Structure 1
Amino acid sequence: MDPLLAEVWGVRLWYYGLAFALGFSAVFLWMMLRRSYAGLSSRQVVDLSLIFSLSCLVAGRAFQILVYELEIFRGRYSEVFAFWKGGMAYEGVMVGALAGVSLFCIIHRKSFLLLADELVIPFAFLLALVRLGGHLNGEVYGYVTTAWWAVKFPHVEGFRHPVALYEVFKCFILMLILLVVGRRGTQGQGRLLGHFMLWCGIFDLIIDIFQAPGALFRSIGTGCYLNALMALIGLLLIASSTRRASRKTTELSTLRFAPASLIATIPSRLNTGTFFRILLFLAILLFCLTIPGGWSRQWLYNLALL
């Protein structure tokens, strides 16, 4: 498994960072597809993509440092912002997604539950890509097994459960569930978010059975509690959504996107502010490519890059 994608002008680009770049791009494209239903303008979709991507990156980094690697960064505070040296927590990315959507809704006075329902499907796709990048890094592995699909990870002995691939499969199953739920003609706000949290929590409880405690500094006991809490919150959201005033929704099967017509409208609608936002979002996507993995210095030391 080679985590290095390429090296351009002395700058290393990584598959793990590519996962974030593709995931954030998917969120942007999905919301452009669904902006009329979500009540967003094209400029607001760009704003949402900016806030969402930045909050995921900042929270993922902060969670990794504060929860898992505080001792490593103690006395090295200048390296807190060195994303290119690695250090992104999966759980922090999820927290950042919630925070980013909340902040956008406060700024633009939008319904949090409505936007959350729209974002859970592309967000599940983002998580699948991130876990795939983590697998290529050899960061997330399970117990030793004799199963034919077992994988030999670097720096650990024996063939082990490819837990990260289990989570990739989980995310695609989750997307399928959300698409099926979303095809129903009517639904209360927060229903898709509830199903996302419910099934994500249940699947993660099952996957944790195969995960080795030392992989990416995770504690199985803590993870089980968090997954159970996530599933419970999901159940509560589903139950509460049925009591809200339901509204007729645009079925997901009617999604249409006309790239040619969209591109044709850009010159007449693109002002300086929107142009700057688009450039900033593209810069974030390029910056993501420099993020090597979820682990920080330990993984880079193993690769003899520090």
Structure 2
Amino acid sequence: MLTYPAIDPVALEIGPLKVHWYGLMYLAGFAAAWLLANRRAVRPGSGWNREQVSDLIFYGALGVILGGRFGYVVFYNFDQFLADPLWLFRVWEGGMAFHGGLLGVCVGLWLFARRHGKGFFQVADFTAPLVPIGLGLGRIGNFIGGELWGRASDVPWAMVFPGSDGLARHPSQLYQFALEGVALFTILWWFSSKPRPAMAVSGLFLACYGSFRFIVEFFRQPDAHIGFIAFEWLTMGQLLSLPMIALGVFMLLAAYHRQAATEKGVKQ
């Protein structure tokens, strides 16, 4: 068993203001996305400029925050919302959900595409490789905050998290950092480094993230107030990931099918 590195979740205190590591990870994620987007924008024929990149990050950040909070309330704590609707707006009490954030980002990208006269998947394919860095940093924030820990285990690297029941548990936040952050970024950055048919990069993002999340959920402790959804093993995270996997695979197949049909038509 490893000793959990007890790091103060509050990074800075300025008078009554407390800046948490989790919040700093969000800022670092947006900053990394901005830097990577500008790097992609300077590629010959990208069709993007620095002003559009800054606007894109703004729309994306709004989508993450608003959608993430809305998704957490609706998918994971709807009963509490019904009992106290104003809780939706008390974001300082914590609670964000990736799947809600994804929906929020999709809305933000759609609004951005309309404003700048771009196709939705032109924007989504450009954005997808920028996302994993923020996802990985967010999981590091979860680890520092000692939240969203894994299931009880006797593996040598299990840890006892503060605020838990004292059992050694999987550091599932680090598993998610490795898969949703490092592995997903590597795959998408490599895949998008060459011209791909429209919708393919977005499809790969959905399929890979959904698969990684589905796998990690077997090691992550289900939310106490929800537990397992079905079969004594299916979690809410897995249930929400299944449509992502199916849609991602469909988008990939459709993108390459359309490209093949177009190339066949040109040759004829």
Is the TM-score greater than 0.5?
yes
Query: Is 1:229 aligned to 2:235, yes or no?
Result: no
Misfit runs of 4+, over 4 Å:
73-79, 215-219
Query: Is 1:12 aligned to 2:18, yes or no?
Result: yes
Task: Please report how far the alpha carbon of residue 77 of structure 1 lies from its aligned counterpart in structure 2 after TM superposition.
Answer: 4.7
Question: Residue 166 of structure 1 aligns with which residue?
Answer: 175
Does the 8 Å CA contact 1:38/1:114 hold for their aligned counterparts?
no
Task: Please report how far the alpha carbon of residue 51 of structure 1 lies from its aligned counterpart in structure 2 after TM superposition.
Answer: 1.1
Task: Please report how far the alpha carbon of residue 78 of structure 1 lies from its aligned counterpart in structure 2 after TM superposition.
Answer: 4.7
Query: Is 1:125 aligned to 2:127, yes or no?
Result: no
Does the 8 Å CA contact 1:117/1:192 hold for their aligned counterparts?
yes
Give deviations 1:182-223, integer Å, cap 9, x for gaps. Answer: 234x32012111111111122222111112223685644333
- Please, which moves more after superposition, 233-242 or 88-97? 88-97
In the comparison of the two structures, how many residue pairs are matched? 246
Unpaired runs of 5+ residues, structure 2, are 1-5, 229-233, 263-268
User: RCO higher in 1 or 2 (8 Å CA, sep ≥ 6)?
Assistant: 1
Does the 8 Å CA contact 2:38/2:50 hold for their aligned counterparts?
yes
Question: Residue 139 of structure 1 aligns with which residue?
Answer: 147
Alpha carbon RMSD of aligned pairs, Å?
A: 2.3
Query: Is 1:151 aligned to 2:159, yes or no?
Result: yes
Choose from 112, 118, 124 the match for 1:116. Answer: 124
Give deviations 1:57-109, integer Å, cap 9, x for gaps. Answer: 01111122233234445565555333323222222222222221111112222
Q: Take 2:83 and 2:63, find their aligned partners in 1: how far apart are those partners? A: 25
Question: Residue 67 of structure 1 aligns with which residue?
Answer: 75
Q: Describe the shift of the 1:210–1:75 C-alpha distance in structure 2 as closer, same or farther (beyond 3 A).
A: closer
Q: Take 1:67 and 1:195, find their aligned partners in 2: how far apart are those partners? A: 24
Matches within 5 A, 1:98-109: 98-109=106-117
Q: Take 1:5 and 1:155, find their aligned partners in 2: how far apart are those partners? A: 19
Question: Residue 55 of structure 1 aligns with which residue?
Answer: 63
Question: Residue 266 of structure 1 aligns with which residue?
Answer: none
Q: Take 1:240 and 1:177, find their aligned partners in 2: how far apart are those partners? A: 20
Matches within 5 A, 1:185-200: 186-200=195-209
Q: Take 1:161 and 1:122, find their aligned partners in 2: how far apart are those partners? A: 28
Q: Take 2:218 and 2:77, find their aligned partners in 1: how far apart are those partners? A: 24
Q: Describe the shift of the 1:89–1:222 C-alpha distance in structure 2 as closer, same or farther (beyond 3 A).
A: closer
Q: Take 2:120 and 2:19, find their aligned partners in 1: how far apart are those partners? A: 35
Query: Is 1:205 aligned to 2:205, yes or no?
Result: no
For 1:159, what is the secondary structure of its paired residue?
A: coil
- Please, which moves more after superposition, 133-142 or 61-70? 61-70
For 1:5, what is the secondary structure of its paired residue?
A: strand
For 1:187, what is the secondary structure of its paired residue?
A: coil
Task: Please report how far the alpha carbon of residue 123 of structure 1 lies from its aligned counterpart in structure 2 after TM superposition.
Answer: 0.4
TM-score, normalised by the number of residues in structure 2: 0.83
Give deviations 1:139-163, integer Å, cap 9, x for gaps. Answer: 2122111111112112222110111
Give deviations 1:248-289, integer Å, cap 9, x for gaps. Answer: xxxxxxxxxxxxxxxxxxxxxxxxxxxxxxxxxxxxxxxxxx
